Amino acid sequence: MHGLMMDMPLAISELIRHADRHHGDTEIVSRRVEGDGLHRYDYRAAHRRARRLAKALARLGLAMHDRVGTLAWNGYRHFELYYAVAGSGAVIHTINPRLFEDQIVYIANHAEDRILCFDLTFLPLVEKLASRLETVKRFVLMTDRAHMPAKTSIPGLLCYEELVEAEDDRFEWPQFDERTAACLCYTSGTTGNPKGVLYSHRSTILHAYGAALPDVLNLSARDVVLPVVPMFHVNAWGLPYSAAACGTKLVFPGQHLDGRSLYELFEAERVTMSAGVPTVWLGLLQFMDANRLKFSTLKRVVIGGSACPPAMMRKFADEYGVEVLHAWGMTEMSPLGCVNTLKGKHLALDRESQFAIRIKQGRPPFGVDWRIVDEEGRELPADGRTFGHLQVRGPWVMRGYFKGEGGDPLRDGWFPTGDVGTLDGDGYLQITDRSKDVIKSGGEWISSIDLENIAIAHPAIAEAAVIGVRHPKWDERPIVVAVKKPGAEVTREELLAFYQGKVAKWWVPDDVVFVEELPHTATGKLSKLTLRQRFSDYRLPGT
Ligand code: ADP
């Protein structure tokens, strides 16, 4: 016997319709890509323009399931595309502009993008690549008439504002199966070609609900959210959807993510919550330190994408009164896997004991199920000590890559994350490493993340990466590659001494190399792969 409840498909268009009807005057503020200040409107106006845009895209020939590529920053036009494209039953394919040109071409061709919409910043890039984009029929520059180039090599370049202005908003969102594809994101693919993860309306809506929960992002109609995490990287962690569901004010930072630009926007728009990878907060905190600034409204910051250094979490809390929520996830998980918040029974603990829990990656919201397994796929105990390969499942976890790339990734119905970690009896996950980053020394594992966190806690260190280098006896040994803070001094010996007493003796790195800068991936993470290549011939002292 079936229940007797309405069978309304979960649809992304319903999110913006809801925000329009019940939070119509809640603002969406964007730093203009054109460079002249802020653009400001509200959910009602955004919905109106998304409908006009949907009509314009249909007039350009966009059909159900067609892909629309975007090369764009976090901004209101990108937001409109999110809703207009998916709401029409087509697929929004957000491309990471920081990828290598060949990868961008590969991705756009692999996705078979029909239309490509891009910000003014990327005009030179698209001019260069257009002839290699085999399936793109229409190129749309996301700007107004006044900023259109007088001359361009892009055939039939269209102007976004002209397309929107040519339509009215008499438009009803079509209805279709909730399992219909809605958005496509490629993983940055540290090895081999990037692979596409194809989200559905259903998975996106369930993720939007899950992400908004109190022990996850805790979003509300009283919050002002500034997503630093790009809309081209796993849908800005789903914030453009969850915010619409909750009626949260959105502030889009455009292309300037330096400390000053972010700080000014945080203050001017009274931002209460933000989210991004650790690297971006380094810049902001350095700027705040140097200028002795404080936040007046910011309450919490979600940090994930790579491990949040405990030193960063302390600094936010102790010096700025901002709560850091550590989060873990991946493109294949839409991306939220877990966020770290305490439980009631932890509230009576002293601050240090609470901190020891909060630096873990977190516990899963309802909707994410996980386990750790050994090499043979046997489940390991969740005792907070045993580490194993982390596997996940749930309605917003991927079951296969776009076009079947890489074959069937599932193992007994579970998705292997490629991460190694421990689980404890309270449900908290601690990531030891990516399985390919873990350092194997004398048959035992050393966590590069733990060693990096110690280096970063040293007052003279700005950023650090720990990698394994070949060792004749131990197979691999850790070395620290570190960047000093401007004007700060520390020697190799001092940094190595800093490890004493903090980890087992055999975990202490064998060497330190100071560099001016560390390599980062297109998603702003330390590129260990590049570092390992750079240090492939490295000889440890005394070997
Ligand atoms: P990619 O960078 O490969 O495109 P994602 O952005 O999906 O992929 O990154 C997912 C990976 O990032 C995870 O599998 C994990 O290794 C790492 N990661 C994400 N958040 C954290 C975190 N809080 N701590 C440690 N590692 C993390």
| pLDDT 10s digits, 440-458 | 998 888 999 999 999 999 9
Going from the Cα of 19 to the center of ligand 1, the distance in angstroms, rounded, reads 31
**Ligand 1 binding pocket includes 417 (Cβ within 6 Å):** yes
Ligand 1 atom closest to Cα of residue 418: 14
- Mean pLDDT is lowest, of 116-125, 382-391, 519-528, for 519-528
| Sheet containing 429-434: order of strands | 369-373, 388-393, 415-423, 429-434
Ligand 1 atom closest to Cα of residue 333: 7
With the most atoms of ligand 1 within 8 angstroms of its CB, the residue from 216, 419, 450 to mutate is 419
pLDDT bucket at 542, cuts 50 / 70 / 90: confident
Rounded to an integer, the average pLDDT of 321-350 is: 98
Going from the Cα of 433 to the center of ligand 1, the distance in angstroms, rounded, reads 10
Going from the Cα of 499 to the center of ligand 1, the distance in angstroms, rounded, reads 26
Nearest residue (CA) to ligand 1, atom 10: 330
**Ligand 1 binding pocket includes 340 (Cβ within 6 Å):** no
Going from the Cα of 339 to the center of ligand 1, the distance in angstroms, rounded, reads 13
With the most atoms of ligand 1 within 8 angstroms of its CB, the residue from 191, 306, 453 to mutate is 306
| Sheet containing 138-141: order of strands | 158-159, 138-141, 113-118, 67-71, 91-94, 181-186, 196-200
Question: Which residues are identified as catalytic?
Answer: 187, 332, 440, 445
Ligand 1 atom closest to Cα of residue 187: 4
pLDDT at res. 524 = 85
| Sheet containing 249-252: order of strands | 38-42, 27-31, 249-252, 224-227, 273-276, 300-303, 323-329, 336-339
Going from the Cα of 177 to the center of ligand 1, the distance in angstroms, rounded, reads 31
Q: How far apart are CA 296 and CA 311, in angstroms?
A: 22
Going from the Cα of 307 to the center of ligand 1, the distance in angstroms, rounded, reads 8
Rounded to an integer, the average pLDDT of 183-206 is: 90
The set of residues, in sequence order, having a beta carbon less than 8 Å from that of 472 and lying 6+ positions away, is: 543
Going from the Cα of 522 to the center of ligand 1, the distance in angstroms, rounded, reads 13
Rounded to an integer, the average pLDDT of 176-191 is: 89
Enter the tokens of residue 308: 């949040």
With the most atoms of ligand 1 within 8 angstroms of its CB, the residue from 184, 431, 447, 448 to mutate is 431
Nearest residue (CA) to ligand 1, atom 7: 330
| Residue 287, pLDDT above cutoff 80 | yes
The set of residues, in sequence order, having a beta carbon less than 8 Å from that of 524 and lying 6+ positions away, is: 277, 279, 280, 305
Going from the Cα of 328 to the center of ligand 1, the distance in angstroms, rounded, reads 7
Closest CA to 100 of 74, 128, 76: 128
**Ligand 1 binding pocket includes 274 (Cβ within 6 Å):** no
**Ligand 1 binding pocket includes 330 (Cβ within 6 Å):** yes
Enter the tokens of residue 501: 């007493």
**Ligand 1 binding pocket includes 278 (Cβ within 6 Å):** no
pLDDT one-digit tens code per residue, 489-506: 999 999 999 999 999 999
pLDDT bucket at 113, cuts 50 / 70 / 90: very high
**Ligand 1 binding pocket includes 361 (Cβ within 6 Å):** yes
pLDDT one-digit tens code per residue, 54-88: 999 999 999 999 999 999 999 999 999 999 999 99
Ligand 1 atom closest to Cα of residue 189: 3
With the most atoms of ligand 1 within 8 angstroms of its CB, the residue from 328, 368, 391, 521 to mutate is 328
Q: What is the mean pLDDT of the chain?
A: 96
Ligand 1 atom closest to Cα of residue 417: 14
| Residue 189, pLDDT above cutoff 80 | no
Inter-helix orientation angle 310-320/448-457, to 10°: 40
| Residue 273, pLDDT above cutoff 70 | yes
**Ligand 1 binding pocket includes 434 (Cβ within 6 Å):** yes
pLDDT bucket at 191, cuts 50 / 70 / 90: low
Going from the Cα of 37 to the center of ligand 1, the distance in angstroms, rounded, reads 33
pTM for the structure as a whole: 0.95
**Ligand 1 binding pocket includes 362 (Cβ within 6 Å):** no
**Ligand 1 binding pocket includes 453 (Cβ within 6 Å):** no
Backbone angles phi, psi at 400, to 5 degrees: -170, 155
**Ligand 1 binding pocket includes 305 (Cβ within 6 Å):** yes
472-500 in b/e form (b: 16+ CB < 10 A) is eebebbbbbbbbbbeeeebeeeebeebbe
Going from the Cα of 329 to the center of ligand 1, the distance in angstroms, rounded, reads 6
Rounded to an integer, the average pLDDT of 402-410 is: 95
**Ligand 1 binding pocket includes 471 (Cβ within 6 Å):** no
Q: How far apart are CA 23 and CA 17, in angstroms?
A: 10
Please list the residues that pair with 302 across neighbouring strands: 275, 325
**Ligand 1 binding pocket includes 187 (Cβ within 6 Å):** yes
**Ligand 1 binding pocket includes 336 (Cβ within 6 Å):** no
